Chains A and B, each alone.
Chain A
Amino acid sequence: MTDIPRPGSAPAIEVEALSFRYPGADRDSLTGVDLRIEHGDFTAVVGGNGSGKTTLCKTFNGLVPHYWSGTFDGAVRVRGQDTRDRSVGALSHQVGYVYQDFGNQLVRPTVRDEVSFAPVNFGLADHRERTDEAMELLGVTHLADRFTWQLSGGQQHLVALAAVMALRPEVVVVDEPVAELDPAHADGIYAALTDLNTRLGTTVIVIEHHAEYVARHARSVVLMADGAPVWHLPVREAMERVDELERHGIPAPQVVQATRSLAPWAPVPLTVEEAAAHLSAHACEDRPEPDRPSEPAPSARAVAPAGSRGAPVARMTGVRHGYREVGGDLAVVLHDLDLTLYDGERVALVGGNGAGKSTLMRLFTGLKVPREGTVRVGGTDTRTVRPAALADQVCYLYQRPEQMFLKDNVREDVAMFPRGRGRPDTDTLVTDVLDRVDLTGLAHRDGRLLSGGQQRRATLAIGLAMRPALLLLDEPTSSLDTASRDAVIAMLDALADTIRCTVVATHDMHLVAEWAQRVLVLDQGRVVADTTPAELFADPGLMSAVGLVAPQITRLGLHLGLNPPPLTVSELLDRHRTTRRTRA
Chain B
Amino acid sequence: MKALLEIEHLTVKFATPKGWLTAISDVSLTMKPGETVCLVGESGSGKTITSKSVMRLIDYENGVIAGGEMKLNGVDLVRAPQKSMRTLRGKKMAMVFQEPMSAFDPVFTIGSQIIEVIVGHKMSNREKASERAVDLLRRVGIPEPELRMKQYPGELSGGMLQRAMIAMALACGPELLIADEPTTALDMTIQAQILQLLQELKSEFNMSILLITHDMGIAAEMADRIIVMYAGQVVEQATAVQLFEQPHHPYTQGLLRSVTTLDSDRGSKLFSIDGSIPNLFELPTGCRFHPRCPHATEKCVKESPPLLNVNDRLAACWYAEDIAEAELWLNPRTEGPVLSEKLIVRETSEAEPQIADHLFEIEGLKKYYPLGKSILSRHSSSIRAVDDVSFQIRKGETFGLVGESGSGKSTLGRVIMQLEKATAGKVSFAGQQLTDMKPSLLHEKRKEMQMIFQDPFGSMNPRWRVGDIIGEPLSIHTSLSAAEKKSRIEELLHVVGLNPSWHERFPHEFSGGQRQRIGIARAIALNPSFVLADEAVSALDVSVQAQIVNLMQELQQNLGLTYLFIAHGLHVVRHISNRIGVMYLGKLVEIADSEELFTHPSHHYTRALIASIPWPDPSRKRELTAISGEIPSPASPPSGCRFHTRCPAATVLCKNEQPELVEVEREHWVACHYPA
A and B interact? no
